[in-house]
């Protein structure tokens, strides 16, 4: 026992760091590398029923304090991706399959196929901001979120986590809808809809014009979302957005997250970021007399505004 173990929707994680969807998870081998580097769980690349090419280049751009991407959900289709899940499972940490689709039936079907491939849980991508007809376009409406969660829960027997968009006036309404639809947890946040323009060329930098912003720039938004969701639902929350140090992870834990996902930070810090965050958490816990991660979850909620 290290004191870093957490439980989320029946899944036992050796520590609260999780690989975020879309980064180093195109193949089973790359996910395995992240598991071997110390992550507590892995989320797969978002996959759909059919192969998709995604958007043409340029689809990634560095901006100050973050990264803009408009990958457009490229993937080989769930059946072709199944072997990657099987390979990732050799890492002996929970593998969460990320599913997207055009509607509730399609998403539930993808989720069922991911479970058949061995996924220990499902993350519903209801939040990608740069793929027409998918993600945030269907996940910004609470009724849709509820219906998609219900349909997926009816089709799979593994835990279902709803990944929510911050590109909405009320992320708590989406979280409540997910809980009402039977989701076992929520994940907040996906990227913020954003764009960058090259003045010399007088054109947007990304081929898709708009993309999603991630990295340090979005952390305060993510922490605020988790804080608000914690006060609105009883199901577990996973925080994501701009985590690259133990201190960043602690912000999310104190806001109410039981675990954090890490994506963009891998670009600058490599896969060592998982072990570094864990050792920083251990140090903080020993200095501040915390015996478990759970003791810190929601710790910042005793203060009234």
Ligand X SMILES: Cc1cc2nc3c(=O)[nH]c(=O)nc-3n(C[C@H](O)[C@H](O)[C@H](O)COP(=O)(O)O)c2cc1C
Task: Enumerate the active-site residues.
Answer: 128
In the bound complex, what is the minimum distance in angstroms from residue 108's beta carbon to ligand X? 17
Give the C-alpha separation, 59 to 211, whole Å.
Answer: 8
Q: Does 242 bind ligand X (CB under 6 A)?
A: yes
C-alpha to C-alpha distances, 6 to 20, 36, 161, 290, nearest whole angstrom: 17, 18, 16, 14
Judged by CB under 6 A, the number of residues near ligand X is 27
| First vs last C-alpha separation in the chain | 37
In the bound complex, what is the minimum distance in angstroms from residue 47's beta carbon to ligand X? 8
Structure tokens at 197: 């323009």
Among 263, 271, 274, 298, the residue binding ligand X under the rule CB under 6 A is: 263
Place of tokens 């989406």: 174
Region binding ligand X by CB under 6 A among candidate stretches 88-96, 152-160, 211-219, 295-303? 211-219
Q: Does 45 bind ligand X (CB under 6 A)?
A: yes
Among 8, 18, 35, 71, the residue binding ligand X under the rule CB under 6 A is: 71
Q: Does 190 bind ligand X (CB under 6 A)?
A: yes
For residue 188, what are the β-bridge partners?
239
Number of residues written out for the chain: 305
Pattern 155-184, ligand X, x by CB under 6 A: --------x---------------------
Region binding ligand X by CB under 6 A among candidate stretches 26-34, 49-57, 67-75, 112-120? 67-75
Give the C-alpha separation, 254 to 247, whole Å.
Answer: 10
73 with 52: CB under 8 angstroms?
yes
Query: Which of 134, 230 has the CB closer to ligand X?
Result: 134
In the bound complex, what is the minimum distance in angstroms from residue 298's beta carbon to ligand X? 21
Structure tokens at 240: 């994501």
Report the DSSP pairing between strands 121-125 and 160-163: parallel
Query: Which of 268, 288 has the CB closer to ligand X?
Result: 268
Structure tokens at 147: 């219906």
Residue 84: left (phi > 0), alpha (psi -120 to 50), or beta?
Answer: alpha
Give the C-alpha separation, 163 to 170, whole Å.
Answer: 14
Among 167, 179, 214, 271, the residue binding ligand X under the rule CB under 6 A is: 214
Region binding ligand X by CB under 6 A among candidate stretches 17-25, 84-92, 112-120, 168-176? 17-25
Q: Does 125 bind ligand X (CB under 6 A)?
A: yes
Query: Which of 48, 181 has the CB closer to ligand X?
Result: 48
For residue 97, what are the β-bridge partners?
122
97: closest CA among 51, 159, 9, 15? 159
Among 34, 39, 67, 82, the residue binding ligand X under the rule CB under 6 A is: 67
Among 262, 278, 293, 296, the residue binding ligand X under the rule CB under 6 A is: 262
Among 72, 97, 215, 298, the residue binding ligand X under the rule CB under 6 A is: 215
165 with 212: CB under 8 angstroms?
no
**Contact residues for ligand X, defined by CB under 6 A:** 20-23, 45-46, 67, 69, 71, 73, 98, 125, 128, 163, 190-191, 214-215, 218, 240-243, 262-265
């Amino acid at each position: 026992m290290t004191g870093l173990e957490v439980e989320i929707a029946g899944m036992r994680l050796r520590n609260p760091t999780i690989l975020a969807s879309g980064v180093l998870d195109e193949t089973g081998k790359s996910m395995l590398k992240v598991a071997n580097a110390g992550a507590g769980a892995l989320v797969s690349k978002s996959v759909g029923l059919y192969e998709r090419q995604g958007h043409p280049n340029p689809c990634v751009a560095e901006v100050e304090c973050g990264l803009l991407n408009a990958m457009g959900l490229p993937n080989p289709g769930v059946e072709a991706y199944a072997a990657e899940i099987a390979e990732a499972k050799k890492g002996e940490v929970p593998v969460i399959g990320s599913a997207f689709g055009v509607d509730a039936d399609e998403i539930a079907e993808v989720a069922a196929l991911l479970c058949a491939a061995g996924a220990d849980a499902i993350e519903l991508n209801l939040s990608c901001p740069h793929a027409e007809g998918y993600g945030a376009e269907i996940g910004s409406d609470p009724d849709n979120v509820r219906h998609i969660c219900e349909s997926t829960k009816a089709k799979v027997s593994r835990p279902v986590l709803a990944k929510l968009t911050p590109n909405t006036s009320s992320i708590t309404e989406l979280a409540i809808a997910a809980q009402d639809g039977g989701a076992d947890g929520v994940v907040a946040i996906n990227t913020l809809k954003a764009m960058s323009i090259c003045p010399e060329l007088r054109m947007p930098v990304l081929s898709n014009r708009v993309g999603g912003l991630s990295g340090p720039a979005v952390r305060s938004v993510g922490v605020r979302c988790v804080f608000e969701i914690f006060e609105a639902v009883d199901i577990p929350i996973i925080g994501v957005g701009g985590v690259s140090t133990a201190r960043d992870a602690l912000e999310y834990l104190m806001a109410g997250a039981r675990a954090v996902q890490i994506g963009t930070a891998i670009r600058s810090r490599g896969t060592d970021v998982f072990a570094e965050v864990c050792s920083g958490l251990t140090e903080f816990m020993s200095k501040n007399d915390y015996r478990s991660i759970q003791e810190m979850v929601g710790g910042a909620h005793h203060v009234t505004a």
